[in-house]
Structure 1
Amino acid sequence: MNCLIVEDNPATREFILDVIKDNFSEISCFSAGDLGEAENLFVKIHPELLVMDVNLPDGKSVDFLSKLCNQISAVHFKVIFITAFSDYAIDAIRLSAMDFLLKPISPVELIGAVNKSIDSLKKDVRYTELETFFYNLGQNQSAMGEKKIVLKTAENAHVLSIKQIYYASADNNYTAFILDYGEPLIVSQPLKYYDEKLGFLGFLRVHQSYLVNMDHVSLYDKRKESVLLTNGSQIPVSQSKKSTIMKFLNKQYL
């Protein structure tokens, strides 16, 4: 497997190179300091894994990837983004189930991201992730838009509109998503993971075991300590979350 590292800081570039070489003997690493160099290398080595800084001296890696996807007939690579700060692209990355690392990069997090990338390459979900990423990035750049998320079950990678999700519930180290159609989707990530992923999109952790899409809340029953959703589901509210719900409702609605 070939890996292309695109990072303008020489020390960070060497650090990533060393961590991957020391922990993944099956990966051959190549590096570039800017997008022009990266484009030349990409044509020569056809990497299966790209580790890219979001912002580079000669442009954004997002634009580079968009150009690549327009030029080739099929996506044969996985992307890990790296950045020194959270910017406009991070929300789109989160929802697409792609990986990103904040600088300074932890060796443990880098190794974990590479392992996840290898798994994704085996499951052939690269195009789904990139397509969702570009969709959400476009929605971020417009004032309004319908966001999408990739949910990976044991069998498939499901691309869903956020509004299709009523709520998510904890099932040990798994999360069950209740949708506006079909059976629940069971995903092998804990609820905390999706709390962090979906919190900025109007989802609220109303209970240790429940994450609710507040757009689907039709009633907050303070006496029964529960919220009623538009699909008829009644979700318990923990004592510690009562004030959080009221703050959310007071902020969102007149």
Structure 2
Amino acid sequence: MTMNRRQALSKIIGISTAAAGATLVGTSAFAGTDAQGNFRLELGDKLKYVPLDAMATAKLAYETGGGCMHQVFHALVTMLANSASADAAKFASIPTAIAGYGAAGIAGQGTVCGNINATGMLVNILDDLNGQNAAVIGATFRYYENTELPYSSDEFVAGIGSTAEKTALVGSSSTANSILCHSSISNWSKASGLTFAQKGERCKRLSACVAYHLVELLNRAYGGEDLSALPESKPSNEAQTCQSCHGVDSTMGSAASVKTDMECTTCHTGHYN
């Protein structure tokens, strides 16, 4: 049997396509792994959390470079990679350097704080925590908004491996009143009299504080506590008042529909801006 060039090309393409299809089928049988059978985190994968030491995690975050988002994400993932979690090896495979983009409100843009960004990224890959995953995120966000940070007690400073001398570099603790980096740092700058360029020690300690509290919340959720019922995981009274008119499925009159739990009055005063 003879075969012209077009027929030969069609035959080759058919064979190649079949081989490629076989390869795809083979790979899909090992969801979440690469061609060598190594775990590769994929969309929808959920890894098992186990209780961690909050202070040890905070210390690791403080000692880690790469900006606030990387500090928190790297600390939590690394602690879980070295834990008794059934998925410890899978945590160890996660390239935490991907969180480096979040520094200074995403590459210096002053938007969502990297600590908050890291919280969402971390909790997103955790398996069900007694139905409290969303509450952990909400409680962390509200804590960041409403707590005077960073901590400056002798116990916490020693626990993260810092010193009293370095406390002077922080200037003053402050309340962010927002999950946005620029609001957080602006309020700290006003309270401390220092500039953005001098934020180094303050932000390292802030990341340690968030890592510490995030672990506390995760441990409590793991233990079965209903965090969603706590006031600290809900929007402030002011934000809830705003939501009464600016709802997600109904609004008051011509009010715009809004979906957010963050503080409203930090940026919006009444109906004038």
Q: Under a length normalisation based on structure 2, what TM-score does the superposition of the two structures give? A: 0.28
Q: Which has the higher helix share?
A: 2
Higher relative contact order (CA 8 A, sep 6+): 2
Structure number with bigger Rg: 2
Q: Under a length normalisation based on structure 1, what TM-score does the superposition of the two structures give? A: 0.29
Q: Which has the higher strand share?
A: 1
